[in-house]
Amino acid sequence: MNSASVNQSTTGSGAGIAEPDMPMPGGDAQKRLIEACNSNASLYELYLQLPKLADDLESDATLKRNGFSVIETVKALRKGNSWAMCELLHSIPSDVAKSIVRGTVAYDIEHGQFSCYETPVRNSVFKDQIPGVYVVSISRFRTTPQGRDNFGGRFLNGKEMKMVIADINKYIDGYNCHVQFQKDLHDGKVTSIQDLSALDAQVVDHLKTVDGYAHVGGQWSSPVYIKKQSHIQKHEALVKTLTTMCNSDPTGTVRMKQGPLYVGCSKDLGKRTQVYNQDNIKDINKPLGLFLSILRKLDLDVKVNVRVVLRTWKRDQLAIAEQLVTTLAGSLVFQYGFNATESGGTGSHTVKSAESLRINTECIMSHKQYMRDNLKGTLFELEQREAFLQILDQTKSDARQLADALKRCADRLMALPKNIKWTEKLDELRKVHSRLRDDLRKKEENLKLLDLLLDIQKMVFEETGKPIIRLK
């Protein structure tokens, strides 16, 4: 884990307080993505990172240790799918893609800096299912006599997260006690819930209380958010992320811009995106559902932001589109998000409606400017890189020519008789020689600078395995 830096900000509610950046639980991979976003106006640098991200996922020790498969995601990010990923990435609004990478989605939504696709609504006029990818983010709010305070779109503070962490751990203890009780009941070691110890009874009661906030309805029969032992490690991974965030602020009072994300996809965005703000949340992602139920129990009001960030316009895009956004967000629960299973599980041919794809094609290629603007930005950057290489080649050529000219001048001077009397023409030759030497020195200085810049460009190639210029 890396320690977080603390920046001073006067943006939004709570102006003037320190806002720590989220520690980078993703390590170097997340840092690289953030740097790619910060240093480039276009999405080209972000695109170059995708094959490297595939390598990082494939070798991730935490994922391997927990038996979490990312095989399909790695395949999708590999070079064979580079164009498919390229066009999908460029269809995401630039500020949205960068917000996802930074983990500041809720904060940016609150400040009007998250220009995403509208969430489709099905009605008597628009009856078609619209496929695409959405992102779920969370921010705190409270109701005061003066009105609602959204805390500038920020996440929980350290004190609140510690309360959530304690309740998640207690929920896990409650599940383990429940499982053991059922086993003992089956074996005849106990006959009723009254046979539990006071501590065990307390954690089982906590388990049932939290489940009650899922608003499933009916009589409680089994845990809502843990169905088997393997689910526990995913809730523990969420605890680890929250703990890391807590460690960035020793006071426990600072609200963070960053927060964990959940990424989902659906062939019917209008229907699926509604489930996250309903009373009954049993059918949503388990770590996210447990997190929200505990917040309800603790009476910590939160705003659940669900935003469509990508619409698909080809039949085989939905799965890899979800894999792309999940990778950018680092939203796997063993990274720093809520996703408990590998993305892309919908398969490559989930979307069957030609009309749905036509509507999305029209939206992306005509109504919205996102893809057009992003491609323009990338092409401009490629042109700048090509111009840089042309200048570098020309400078090297000029330096070679100047060196050759100097050598010829020196050879001719050495060939002159030793007793020759210098004439005005020879004085001119010396001036030419001096000027050429000065020009060469300047060219060599320029070449050093260009070589330095070229080294930076080469770093991209070494890290990603991609050529710097790819115009065709």
Question: Nearest CA to 137 among 307, 328, 310, 322?
Answer: 307
- In the predicted structure, residue 26 carries a pLDDT above the cut 60: no
Of residues 349 and 147, more confidence is placed in: 147
Each residue of 157-211: pLDDT tens digit? 999 999 999 999 999 999 999 999 999 999 999 988 899 999 999 999 999 999 9
**DSSP states of 242-257 as a string?**
HHHHHTT-TTS-PPPS
Please give the share of the chain, as a percent, with pLDDT higher than 70.
77
Highest mean pLDDT among 32-41, 183-192, 373-382, 432-441: 183-192
Structure tokens at 68: 């979490």
Give yes or no for a contact between 244 and 25, defined as CB atoms under 8 angstroms apart: yes
Query: Edge-to-edge strand order for the sheet containing 132-140?
Result: 262-266, 132-140, 302-311
Q: How confident is the model at residue 374 (pLDDT cuts 50, 70, 90)?
A: confident
pLDDT value for 454:
61
Each residue of 386-442: pLDDT tens digit? 555 565 566 666 667 767 776 777 776 677 666 655 555 566 666 776 777 777 777
pLDDT value for 105:
96
Q: How confident is the model at residue 301 (pLDDT cuts 50, 70, 90)?
A: very high
Cα distances (angstroms) measured from residue 232 to each of 64, 184, 239, 265: 16, 21, 11, 24
Q: Which of 16-20, 166-170, 445-449 has the lowest mean pLDDT?
A: 16-20
- In the predicted structure, residue 347 carries a pLDDT above the cut 90: no
Question: CB neighbours of 161 closer than 8 A, spacing ≥ 6?
Answer: 242, 243, 245, 246
Cα distances (angstroms) measured from residue 157 to each of 18, 139, 161, 303: 12, 10, 6, 15
Q: In whole angstroms, give the CA distance from residue 455 to residue 167.
A: 50
The residue ranges of every structural domain in the chain are 6-159+243-368, 373-464
Q: Kindly state the DSSP code that residue 339 receives in the 8-state scheme.
A: B
| Cα 143 off chain centre by | 31
pLDDT value for 92:
95
The stretch 314-323 carries a mean pLDDT of: 94
Each residue of 143-153: pLDDT tens digit? 999 999 999 99
Give the DSSP H/E element, type plus range, for residue 440. Answer: helix 424-464
Question: Nearest CA to 259 among 231, 292, 298, 282?
Answer: 292
- In the predicted structure, residue 125 carries a pLDDT above the cut 70: no
pLDDT value for 99:
94
pLDDT value for 66:
93
Pairing of strands 147-149, 18-20: unpaired
Compute, in degrees rounded to 10, the torsion defined by CA atoms 99, 42, 339, 11: -10
| Cα 98 off chain centre by | 7
Please give the share of the chain, as a percent, with pLDDT higher than 90.
53
pLDDT value for 3:
38
Q: How confident is the model at residue 2 (pLDDT cuts 50, 70, 90)?
A: very low
Cα distances (angstroms) measured from residue 235 to each of 164, 229, 332, 334: 12, 11, 12, 10
Question: Nearest CA to 258 among 115, 153, 160?
Answer: 153
Each residue of 48-106: pLDDT tens digit? 889 889 999 999 999 999 999 999 999 999 865 678 898 999 999 999 999 999 999 99
Of residues 344 and 417, more confidence is placed in: 344
- In the predicted structure, residue 236 carries a pLDDT above the cut 70: yes
Q: How confident is the model at residue 40 (pLDDT cuts 50, 70, 90)?
A: confident
Tell me the average pLDDT of the chain. 83
Question: With helix as H, strand as E and coil as C, how does 1-64 read?
Answer: CCCCCEEECCCCCCCCCEEECCCCCCCHHHHHHHHHHHCCCCCHHHHHCHHHHHHHHHHCHHHH
The stretch 308-326 carries a mean pLDDT of: 95
Give yes or no for a contact between 187 and 271, defined as CB atoms under 8 angstroms apart: no
Q: Write the burial class of residue 246 (CB in 10 Å: 0-12 exposed, 13-18 middle, 19+ buried).
A: buried
Helices 50-59 and 82-91 pack at an angle, to 10 degrees, of 110
